[in-house]
Chain A
Amino acid sequence: DTEVTQTPKHLVMGMTNKKSLKCEQHMGHRAMYWYKQKAKKPPELMFVYSYEKLSINESVPSRFSPECPNSSLLNLHLHALQPEDSALYLCASSQDTSQGGDSNQPQHFGDGTRLSIL
Chain B
Amino acid sequence: AQSVAQPEDQVNVAEGNPLTVKCTYSVSGNPYLFWYVQYPNRGLQFLLKYITGDNLVKGSYGFEAEFNKSQTSFHLKKPSALVSDSALYFCAVKGYSTLTFGKGTMLLVSP
Contacts and interface: CB of A to CB of B under 8 A. Distances in A.
Interface string B34-64: 1010000111111001010000000000000
B88 A40 contact: yes
Of B34, B94, B102, B104, the most chain A CB neighbours within 10 A belong to B94
Of B43, B101, B104, the most chain A CB neighbours within 10 A belong to B43
Contacts, number: 53
B70 interface: no
Which size bracket describes the interface of A in this complex?
Answer: 20 to 34
A100 interface: yes
Interface string A56-92: 1000000000000000000000000000000000101
Contacts of A42: 90, 101-104
Given A48-B98, A104-B94, A106-B34, A43 B44 contact: yes
Interface of A: 2, 4, 6, 40-43, 45, 48, 56, 90, 92, 99-100, 102-104, 106-112, 114
